[in-house]
Every structure is written in C-alpha cells, then in structure tokens.
Amino acid sequence: MTQGKVDALLGIVFGDEGKGKVVDVFTPRYDVVARFAGGPNAGHTIIFDGKKFVLRSIPSGIFDKGKLNIIGNGCVIAPDLFMAEAKELEAAGYDLRSRLHISSRAHLILPTHRVLDRAYEAAKGKKAVGTTGKGIGPTYSDKASRTGLRVGDILRDFPKRYAALKARHEQILRDLNYTDYDISSEEQLWMQGVEYMRQFCITDTVTELNRLLAQGKNVLAEGAQGTMLDIDHGTYPFVSSSSTTTGGVCTGLGVSPRSIGEVYGIFKAYSTRVGAGPFPVELFDETSQRIRSIGHEYGAVTGRDRRCGWVDLVALRYAIMINGVTQLIMMKSDVLDGFDTIRACVAYERDGQQTPDMPFDTEGWQPVYRDLPGWQEDLSSMTSEEQFPKTFADYINFLETELQTPITILSVGPDRAQTITRHPNS
Ligand code: GDP
Ligand code: IMO
Ligand code: MG
C-alpha cells in the first residue's frame, strides 16, 4: 500500500487570500481536510449555488458530505463560537457529528482569554496589533507557558481546571488594572458550548491521521492566516500567534515532513492586509478605494476595511522559499479588470538602497514597481485560459518568471464555479 500524502494549501501573504474557496473546490480530490493552526481569527468564505458560508474553526471541506474533517492539535477553539458555527451548518443540512473530529490536544480559548486580548491591546496603545479580539494571542501564550487548557480536558475534572485558569487570568487583569468587564452571559454560553462539544468525536487526531495516511488516504491541510502573519516569519510583532507555514502543518497535525506532498501557495492578484503593521505596498489613493470596493475588501471576521496595494513579489518570493511552494494559485484577478496599468513591487528601497529580500525590519521601506499593461475584458465570465486577454496572460507569465513557480489555478470570481485550472507547460 502506498503511503498517502498531506498536501498543504497555505495563504502566503497577510491572510484572506481565498483559502476557503479553494479548499472547497479541492475537497473532492482528498479523503480528509484538516485545519492545523489558528482558530476563530480566521474567516474562510465559501460560495456555491447562491449560498454563502463563512467558516472560522471548521475546515472548509465540510460541504462534501463524504469527507472527514479534522481540527488539529495546532488549533485553538472557542466552544461558544464553535457551537454557533456548527449549528448554522447543521441547520443548513450538513451533518457534522460523524464527519468532524476534534483533536483532544487543541487548546481552548476561554472568555477571559478574550478579555486579556482586549487588555493587552489597550495597554499597547498606539502600538496595538489590531487583533481580531478572539483571544488568540493569550491562548497560545498559555500554551507556551504550559498553563493552557486543552479540548481533552473537558472530559476530565473540568470545572476545577477551568476555575483555576480563570482565576489566574483575573489576577493578571487586576495587575493590569483592567477590571471593567463582565463575562457572565458570555461564560454561560461558553459552558453550553463545552457541553455541545462533548457530543463530537474528541480524539487523538495525530494517530488517526497517521493511520489514514498508512492506509493510502490523502489529506489536504487547510492553512489559516498567511505567511506574513506567522509568529516566526511574519512582520513581528504585528503577526498572529501560530505557525501558519508548511512547518506548522507538521507540528499542527503531528505528521512527518516526509508525508508532505504538494504545497499550494495562494495569493491575490494584488495585496491586502487587515490590522496594523508594516505594509510597504499599501496605497492611500483612489486605486486603493477602487480595489477595496470592487474586491469587497472588508474583514470577514471583524468587518474592518482591509488595507490594499499592488502585488508584492518580495513577500511572495520569501513565502515561496519558506514554505517550499510547488504550485501557486492566484485569486481575484477579476478585481483588476479595467485598469490601464497594473503594478508589481519587485524590490524594496530605503535610503537609496534596494533589496529583493524580506528585511528584518519592514518599516520605512518603499516599493520599487514594475508597470505592466492592464486589460479591459471581464475575466469573471471566462472559463478557460484560452479566453484570457493577452495582457492578462502576460501578467501571469511575468509573475511565474519572477517567482520561478508555476501558477496552476486562477480564480476569477467568488463562486466555486469561477475557478480555472491552467497547464503552464502545455
Ligand atoms: P480566506 O480567509 O483566505 O478563506 O479568504 P476570505 O474568505 O477571508 O476572503 C476572500 C474573499 O474574496 C471572500 O469574500 C471570497 O468570497 C472572495 N473571493 C474569493 N475568490 C475570489 C475571486 O477570484 N474573485 C473575487 N472577486 N472574489 C473572490
Ligand atoms: P484568514 O484565515 C487576515 C490578523 C489580525 C491582526 C493579526 C493578529 O481568514 O486568512 P490575532 O487575532 O490573530 O491575534 O490578530 O493577524 N489576522 C488575520 N488577517 N486573515 C486572517 O485569517 C487573520 N487572522 C488574524 O487582523 O492584524
Ligand atoms: Mg479570511
């Protein structure tokens, strides 16, 4: 029996690249879809048959009724938000209980983690990260401090463990002078979420996944966030708190590096970022407004305006290198329809010095652009690469040459159906 593979589908910029859409499109090719990092800070949009879903913790493979979905050990999970998300899917006719397995090692986000998230942000003042407020940083901090609670803990002596961690958080909040909060109703819902979660298969997903791989089953690892938000490789400290890269697939699912197959790197035909932090390609003019409005660039979780700019090849090269990307997927090219000129950032410049590589400190760098002719056609109605206007085909070829990696999928609209497979060598 040939051993199965874990293919990774990773956001390689600042998140919101369209991971949910492509995971949903790819799911029929796999036996299992697994999330390996992050939690309800993610918002993955899936649109098909006139319906729209935004998933936060549940993998985007859930709409294919025959497939197993796993929330892996590298994830963090908020029982109340999980319950709301799962109930919405159940109400829409998707049976989850037999098909969604949750790692007993994933960490729990407590209501007090969310208060701590707000308190730490408030204490940072102007240097605030602009988090999603979902308690992500404090939960991963507790994990690293070895004080966290894991999903498996809800099955053993839970009230005592919960009370101890909550008391610890309350003490920190008192020390921070952050006492003006009330979690009583939130906590009630959270406890209901814990009861609800008990009805799911809480298990050792590491052994389960490795057993399935040994049986020749194939797994799609669904990334959350993006490489530039990775705790090690992103624009620290303006990052999330998990490992969002291929390395994170191995630790966040408990699979060996030898099991990794394809690494799909997903990016938009332009750039966005939500939250604070360096973003050298950011535009502040009408181009930014136009991209935001046509691309609906508002956060799926928080509704905040996403910051917009041209595509950033410095960031893409860096992410391709770190992740070992084997194929690129370019999203939202349709949003650039109608521009006379489009631009690509090929290097950063500061104090007269240029770099093609990602600097340690991305503050204060200016983009060096290459201008390319745009296209006037409507890409969203196209169904094969033969229909692409020449200038768009040239844009794709330019990116492939610069990035030394094939672009094999092009998305030209939010719907499942608006996805074009390309054969770069044909
Ligand atoms: P994710 O977090 O990476 O899954 O991405 P989000 O769901 O946060 O953001 C992607 C947004 O772009 C969603 O609103 C999608 O419906 C939308 N979208 C995805 N692909 C395309 C595309 O090719 N064209 C357009 N116009 N919208 C797209
Ligand atoms: P998906 O999976 C875009 C950003 C936040 C903030 C920083 C830290 O939908 O692509 P956190 O709450 O994680 O501590 O916030 O990271 N951020 C995201 N931006 N897409 C996401 O997820 C994000 N998850 C976190 O805006 O700047
Ligand atoms: Mg998103």
Q: Which residue has the tokens 């985007």?
A: 60
User: Which atom of ligand 1 is nearest to 412's Cα?
Assistant: 23
Calpha distance 45→26 (Å, rounded): 14
The best mutation among 225, 233, 331 to test binding of ligand 2, ranked by most ligand atoms within 8 Å of the C-beta, falls on: 225
Kindly tell me if the per-residue pLDDT of 300 is higher than 80: no
> What secondary structure, in 3-state letters, does 115-136 show?
HHHHHHHHHHHHHCCCCCCCCH
Task: Give every CB contact of residue 202 below 8 A, 6+ residues apart in sequence.
Answer: 101, 102, 103, 104, 151, 152, 154, 155
> Angle formed by the axes of helices 313-323 and 390-403, to 10°?
50
Kindly tell me if the per-residue pLDDT of 1 is higher than 90: no
Q: What is the pLDDT of residues 85-104, one digit of tens each?
A: 999 999 999 999 999 999 99
Calpha distance 137→303 (Å, rounded): 20
* pLDDT (0 to 100) of residue 273: 97
Distances (CA, A) of 174 to 137, 152, 177: 19, 29, 5
Q: DSSP class of residue 75?
A: B
Kindly tell me if the per-residue pLDDT of 36 is higher than 70: yes
Q: What is the CA(292)–ligand 1 centre distance, in A?
A: 12
The tokens of 334 are what? 């349709």
Q: What is the CA(240)–ligand 2 centre distance, in A?
A: 6
DSSP per position, 267-278:
EESEEEE-SSS-
Kindly tell me if the per-residue pLDDT of 344 is higher than 70: yes
pLDDT-derived band at 426 (thresholds 50, 70, 90) equals very low
Q: How many residues does the chain have?
A: 426
The enclosing H or E element of 150 equals none
Q: Which residue has the tokens 């293919």?
A: 7
Q: Percent of the chain beyond pLDDT 70?
A: 99
SS3 of residue 140 by DSSP: helix
Active site residues: 16, 44
Mean local confidence (pLDDT), 230-237: 97
Mean pLDDT of all residues in the chain? Answer: 96
The best mutation among 274, 308, 332 to test binding of ligand 2, ranked by most ligand atoms within 8 Å of the C-beta, falls on: 274
24 lines ligand 1 (CB under 6 A): no
Proximal ligand: closest to the CA of 45: 1
Proximal ligand: closest to the CA of 23: 1
What letters, b where the CB count within 10 A reaches 16 and e where it falls short, cover 320-356? bebbebbbbbbbbbbbbbebeebbbbbbbeeeeeeee
Q: DSSP class of residue 244?
A: -
* pLDDT (0 to 100) of residue 423: 83
Calpha distance 113→248 (Å, rounded): 23
Q: What is the pLDDT of residues 349-392, one digit of tens each?
A: 999 999 999 999 878 899 999 999 999 999 999 999 999 999 99
Proximal ligand: closest to the CA of 304: 2
87 lines ligand 1 (CB under 6 A): no
Mean local confidence (pLDDT), 218-233: 98
Q: What is the pLDDT of residues 131-164, one digit of tens each?
A: 999 999 999 999 999 999 999 999 989 999 999 9
41 lines ligand 2 (CB under 6 A): yes
Q: What is the CA(304)–ligand 3 centre distance, in A?
A: 12
Calpha distance 358→350 (Å, rounded): 13
Cβ-contact 391, 370 below 8 angstroms: no
The best mutation among 21, 23, 294, 336 to test binding of ligand 1, ranked by most ligand atoms within 8 Å of the C-beta, falls on: 21
Higher pLDDT, 1 or 17: 17
Kindly tell me if the per-residue pLDDT of 301 is higher than 90: no
User: Which atom of ligand 1 is nearest to 11's Cα?
Assistant: 3
Half-sphere exposure of 212 (CA within 13 A, CB side): 24
Closest listed residue to residue 266, CA positions, set 6, 5, 75, 16: 16
Task: Give every CB contact of residue 393 below 8 A, 6+ residues apart in sequence.
Answer: 385
Closest listed residue to residue 81, CA positions, set 20, 132, 17, 141: 132
